[in-house]
Amino acid sequence: MTFFFQNVVNALQYGSFYALIALGYSMVYSILMLFNFAHGDIFMTGAYIGFGVATGLTVLAAAGTIVLPNWLILVLTILIAMFLTSMLGMLVERLGYRPLRDAPRASAAITGMMIGLILEYGNLLLLGPQRRSFPRLIQTVTYDVGGVILTNKKIMIVAVSMVLMYALHLFISRTRWGLAMRAMAFDHVVVPLMGVPINTIARLTFALGSALAAVAGIFFGLAYPVLDPYMGIVFGWKAFVAAILGGRGSVMGATIAGFMLGFIEIFVAMVFPSTLRDLIAYSIILGILVFRPHGLFGEAYSARLRL
């Protein structure tokens, strides 16, 4: 039983990464009706930006130039990385997606993949292929709750992720900007005619999604202190699957499906040999989509590529 709960804890942590990334896919989809295939690599870039900021601040603090406790470094890292990554997201939107807004959606998909490749190889070019280890900003404290091992990092990761998701939910459901986003998702032809600035909303959506991806990247760096330039591919595509599984454009669905994917992966690895993890996880997803073709929380309306 403790083994089970231990895995629940691990799955929650894994699920938070997936959910944070999947939210970015889902929000962009609901506004622009296209998937931002560069999102996985934005996550990777966010993790590296976090790595750069954290390393810089740690070095400065160690040299005594500035006096900062480690937790403050972490908070600053998260904030700065969120800001810079959302800038990157807006840049990607401006250069890669805005010119293609009326193009066939498949072209936008190709562009997204290509932007992802550029980010990946740009990173390889700048930093080289070796893996980087994220600075250990907080001392790991271990709690033993009835045999289940909890660490302060895991608690922080899951708690902060949940808070962020709830904040996003409030933002979308309570503010005027959120109202504009929901309106745009409802109809992106008529709503811009009513004076809602579609470019600003698109930029905002990319910024929000990228900021969340940056948080996921930093948390990933804290939990598994290695970063490599290809992490965006693996995590990005899995989170994309989660976004679809949740029902495209459904923020709630993306969150739940992200956690679900974490649970499926961890529990498959618990029961079966871990090499079978992908095989079984994707078979389950394929099964779900065959019987619920519009995802768990998606609306059943006809999806057509605008060719």
Residues near another protein (CB under 8 A) are 35, 96, 99-100, 103-111, 113-115, 117-118, 120-122, 124-125, 233, 237, 240-241, 244-245, 248, 275-276, 278-279, 282-283, 285-286, 289-290, 293-295, 302-305, 307
The terminus-to-terminus CA distance of the chain in angstroms comes to 53
- CA gap 227, 212 in Å, rounded: 18
- CA gap 44, 132 in Å, rounded: 12
Note whether 16 and 158 are within 8 A (CB): yes
Residue nearer to another protein on the CB measure, 37 or 134: 37
DSSP state, residue 276? G
- CA gap 189, 193 in Å, rounded: 7
Residue nearer to another protein on the CB measure, 103 or 150: 103
Q: Kindly state the tokens that stand for 301.
A: 């309306």
Q: How far is the CB of 153 from another protein (least distance, A)?
A: 29
Residue nearer to another protein on the CB measure, 64 or 273: 273
Q: How far is the CB of 30 from another protein (least distance, A)?
A: 12
Residue nearer to another protein on the CB measure, 69 or 129: 129
Q: How far is the CB of 72 from another protein (least distance, A)?
A: 36
Q: Kindly state the tokens that stand for 272.
A: 């079966």
Write phi, then psi, for 300 (nearest 5 degrees): -85, 85
Q: How far is the CB of 74 from another protein (least distance, A)?
A: 32
Residue nearer to another protein on the CB measure, 113 or 138: 113
